[in-house]
Structures are given as C-alpha cells and as structure tokens.
C-alpha cells in the first residue's frame, strides 16, 4: 500500500510540479483522513480524523479564523486516542483561545526509570530473539490519561510580544501491565511471560511511593511571555518564536503533590533560499523550582502550544529514534536542528500543495536529576544493582534522521520521519508517520 501511495504522489508531482498559481482559500476547508500513522514506540495507528479550517474572506491566509480537530484512533501497541481540539485563531478580540479535551489510553506505556543514562536499559531483556529475554513489556506500565487543557494568548499593543495564561487538568491512572489481557487470544508459543516489571520493582524498592503508584491528579496554572515574529506558523521560513513561563500546581487547585516549574524555549527560522529552503532550530530548558513533581507527571514537556501528547524526551515529538520517555528528570535541556526543503509545488482539486523534505539532528539530556535513595543490594534481593543503575553516567543523548511532508494550503501537513539514536541504550531506529512539522 505504501508503494502505491508513493507512485500516485510521483505521478501527481510530474504532472503538476512547480505550478505556483497563487490563490487564497476562503470559507471552510477541511481534510478528512483515516488516522493512519506509524510510531516505532506505539505501533500502527488506525481510526479517523477531521481537520477543519475557516479562512473567512481569505485576507489573513495562511492565517485562519478558527480551526477544529477531531480524532478517534487506536494503535496496534494497545494505545487509544480520543481527542477534540479548538483553536480560535484570529476570531476573538480578547486573544487566541486553544482548548484541548482528550482521553488517551496506553496498555503498555514506556517506563525506563529516572535520570537518563543513570538508569540502565537492557535491550536484550525485551528482545524475544535474545537468550536473555525476559518480557516484551518489562519496561512498561499501564497508563490512562484524561486531560483538559486551556490556553489563552493575547497581544501587547503594537508589539510582537504576547502574554499567555493556561489552566490545565490532568488525571492519571497507572497500574502494572495487564498481561492476561495482552495474552488473550494468543497462541501458546506467543504468550508474554507474567513477571515483575521495572515499574513494580521501583515501587517495591521505594523509588515510587504508594500514594503515586496508582496515578493521581494534577491541576495547574501557567503564566508566560511570548515573542513571535514567524511569517507562517505551520512551517515558518523566517522569524523567531521564544517563550518563557512558570507552571504552578498548588494544593488549593486540587493537586495531590504541589510543585512549580519554569521553562524557556527558543525557536529560530532562517531562509536559505527564498520560499524553498530554510534552517529551523529549537532549544528548550525546563526545571523544577519547588515542591515535588509526582513521577507520573515528570514526562510533561512544557510549552504554550497545546498538543495531543506532551510526553517527555525521546520519541517522535522530541528526539526521534530515542526510546519514548527515555529521558526523565526534574530538569532537562533539549534541541533540534532541521533543514527543510520544498522542492515540488502543485495544485489539485482547487487546493494548493507542496512536497517537502527535511534532515535533522536532535539532542537532549538531564540537567537536574531526580533525587532518590538508590536501594541497597539487600532490598533488591536477587536483582543485581548494575543491571538497573549506573550513577553519574548521564550525558547528551543524540539522534539524526530525515523525513518527507505533504502539505495542503500551508496548514494541513502529513508527515513521515525516520531517526536513529547514537547509543544502543537509547533504542535504535525509529519510524514515525503523523501530522505537522516538529516545531
């Protein structure tokens, strides 16, 4: 099927390549797609999504008046996504309102421990072909997340500065992987061993408290300042986008474990060839400033831009090719350098398209480690210390790769990327199909 799709795209490109008739979409424009994607960490996605844009009279194109997004999908790895998002665009006088309501389920969510390379990942333990195989789900736990995120941004008069106010509610449900459910309907030779996984071991060793073991509730306020000179949000050719802010999760908001964090993100876009070739760079930093962040919330990357998933470092949204959520700590830095080229333009069904390709380098590391007491060998019992811990070994995690984009009207973007990590403990090769540029 993938080869058929590529041939159809090639035929379209050869017939319509480099057509640059300029027109402005007006009124409602939408894309209805099967939610077909692939993520090396989650598996094959199937379902459906609708992305609806209202361009009004077209005068603000490629800007829009409103955007609606609805997705219902599942992954073969056991995850489910049920999501509705609204973006007011430029239709409200008070500012830009973004609301995201979602419920995400993970039959086997990644859990590799804390503090990056300080937590050892034995890839042979989850490789069924290895003589040291334990279980495919040894580094997994069951996790469901309900989230209701609201973000309001407003402009300071006659400047490129904006203020940002957000209110977020997240409810986490965690448990060991349900091996009985996983094995249901499997052949006897394909059964997954029912053993104690890393998540259960961390609880038994005292690294995850009894209060947080089953999940919890986080309600937070976020205040920020944004400076934005981008010429186009989905794929800027020039400009910059910087933001800094603080997140406060206080007990009076209902949060079970109060904390505060600060964050800073800078994105810069450079035009190398007008309209066609650009260099995009991103650098981010966040750290805990007070309280104790519960383990189930530590993976959240802070940003003013709401996404369906805000998981931690590693995977499609941060460091492609590195295991999803591999790098978890109280403070971290990360960066992305990406070269973006738009070699082909064409019109189809009265819509404007282009095909883009990109090459990237991703990296990140822990700057403030999670402080916990490493268990003694007596507490660990038959488990060997150096199979799980390597204190002081954290360093920069790297990956590199490339991708392709199919873009309609500069806003609706179908993406495919492949990335490879530099270190074996970070995973290997990751392949991802989804929506939009990374930043």
The sign one gets for the Cα dihedral 204, 143, 214, 253 is: positive
pLDDT at 5 over 50: no
Look at residues 409, 402, 318, 325 and name the one whose alpha carbon lies nearest to residue 364. 318
pLDDT at 12 over 60: no
Percent of the chain at pLDDT exceeding 90: 69
Please give the average per-residue pLDDT across 160-184, as a whole number.
94
Q: How confident is the model at residue 135 (pLDDT cuts 50, 70, 90)?
A: very high
Q: What share of the chain is helix, strand, coil (3-state, %, to 5)?
A: 15, 50, 40
- Fold classification of 2-372+389-435 is Porin (2.40.160)
**Sequence-ordered list of residues with C-beta below 8 angstroms from that of 8, at least 6 positions apart, any chain:** none
Percent of the chain at pLDDT exceeding 70: 92
pLDDT at 123 over 90: yes
Residue 98 backbone phi and psi in degrees, to 5:
-125, 125
**Which whole-number Å values give the CA distances from 360 to 284, 318, 337, 398, in the listed order?**
16, 11, 6, 11
Write the pLDDT tens digit of every residue in 286-332: 999 999 999 999 999 998 776 656 577 999 989 999 999 999 999 99
Which of 11-15, 65-69, 101-105 is modeled with the greatest confidence? 101-105
**Sequence-ordered list of residues with C-beta below 8 angstroms from that of 356, at least 6 positions apart, any chain:** 235, 340, 341, 342, 343, 404, 405, 407
- pLDDT, residue 433, reads 87
Rounded Cα distance between 312 and 299, Å, is: 4
This prediction has a pTM of 0.86
Write the pLDDT tens digit of every residue in 44-59: 888 988 888 888 777 7
- pLDDT, residue 8, reads 36
- Rounded to the nearest integer, the mean pLDDT of the chain is 89
pLDDT at 106 over 80: yes
**Lowest mean pLDDT across 131-140, 174-183, 202-211, 304-313:** 304-313
Rounded Cα distance between 108 and 198, Å, is: 12
Residue that is written with structure tokens 């966040």 in the block: 286
56 versus 166: the higher-pLDDT residue is 166
| Residues 367 and 118 sit within 8 Å (Cβ to Cβ) | no
pLDDT at 109 over 90: yes
- pLDDT, residue 11, reads 34
Please give the average per-residue pLDDT across 126-140, as a whole number.
95
**Lowest mean pLDDT across 231-235, 313-317, 393-397:** 231-235
Please give the average per-residue pLDDT across 138-155, as a whole number.
95
| Residues 88 and 96 sit within 8 Å (Cβ to Cβ) | yes
The sign one gets for the Cα dihedral 298, 300, 303, 306 is: negative
- Domains of the chain, by residue range, sit at 2-372+389-435
Q: How confident is the model at residue 36 (pLDDT cuts 50, 70, 90)?
A: confident
pLDDT at 37 over 80: no
Please state whether the peptide bond connecting residue 62 to the residue before it is cis, i.e. omega within 30 degrees of 0.
yes
Write the pLDDT tens digit of every residue in 375-388: 988 899 999 999 99
């Amino acid at each position: 099927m993938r080869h058929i799709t590529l041939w159809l795209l090639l035929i379209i490109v050869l017939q319509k390549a480099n057509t640059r008739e300029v027109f402005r979409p007006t009124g409602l424009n939408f894309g209805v797609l099967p939610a077909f994607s692939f993520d090396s960490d989650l598996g094959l996605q199937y379902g459906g999504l609708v992305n609806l844009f209202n361009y009004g009279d077209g005068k603000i194109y490629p800007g829009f008046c409103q955007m609606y997004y609805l997705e219902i999908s599942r992954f073969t790895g056991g995850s489910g996504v049920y999501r509705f998002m609204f973006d007011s665009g430029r239709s409200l006088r008070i500012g830009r309102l973004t609301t995201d309501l979602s419920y995400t389920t993970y039959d086997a969510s990644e859990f590799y421990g804390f503090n990056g390379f300080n937590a050892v990942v034995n890839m042979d333990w989850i490789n069924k072909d290895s003589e040291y195989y334990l279980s495919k789900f040894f580094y997994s736990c069951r996790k469901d997340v309900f989230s209701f995120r609201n973000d309001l941004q407003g402009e300071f008069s006659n400047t490129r500065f904006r203020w940002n106010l957000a209110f977020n509610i997240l409810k986490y449900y965690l448990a060991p992987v349900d091996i009985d459910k996983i094995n249901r309907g499997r052949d006897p030779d394909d059964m997954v061993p029912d053993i104690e996984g890393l998540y259960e071991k961390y609880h038994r060793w005292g690294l995850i408290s009894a209060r947080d073991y089953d999940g919890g509730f986080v309600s937070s306020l976020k205040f920020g300042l944004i400076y934005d000179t981008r010429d186009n949000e989905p794929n800027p050719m020039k400009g910059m986008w910087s933001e800094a802010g603080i997140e406060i999760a206080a007990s009076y908001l209902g949060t079970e474990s109060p904390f505060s964090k600060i964050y800073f993100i800078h994105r810069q876009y450079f035009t190398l060839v007008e309209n066609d070739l650009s260099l995009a760079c991103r650098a981010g930093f966040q750290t805990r400033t007070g309280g104790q962040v519960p383990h189930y919330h530590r993976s959240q990357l802070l940003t003013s831009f709401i996404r369906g998933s805000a998981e931690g470092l590693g995977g499609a949204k941060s460091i492609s090719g590195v295991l999803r959520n591999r790098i978890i700590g109280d403070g971290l830095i990360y960066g992305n350098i990406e070269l973006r080229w738009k070699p082909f333009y064409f019109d189809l069904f009265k819509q404007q398209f282009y095909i883009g390709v990109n090459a990237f380098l991703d990296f990140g590391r822990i700057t403030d480690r999670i402080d916990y007491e490493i268990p003694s060998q007596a507490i660990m019992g038959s488990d060997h210390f150096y199979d799980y811990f390597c204190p002081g070994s954290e360093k920069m995690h790297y990956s590199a790769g490339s991708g392709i984009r199919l873009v309609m009207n500069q806003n609706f973007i179908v993406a495919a990327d492949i990335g490879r990590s530099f270190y074996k403990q970070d995973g290997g090769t990751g392949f991802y199909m989804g929506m939009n540029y990374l930043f």
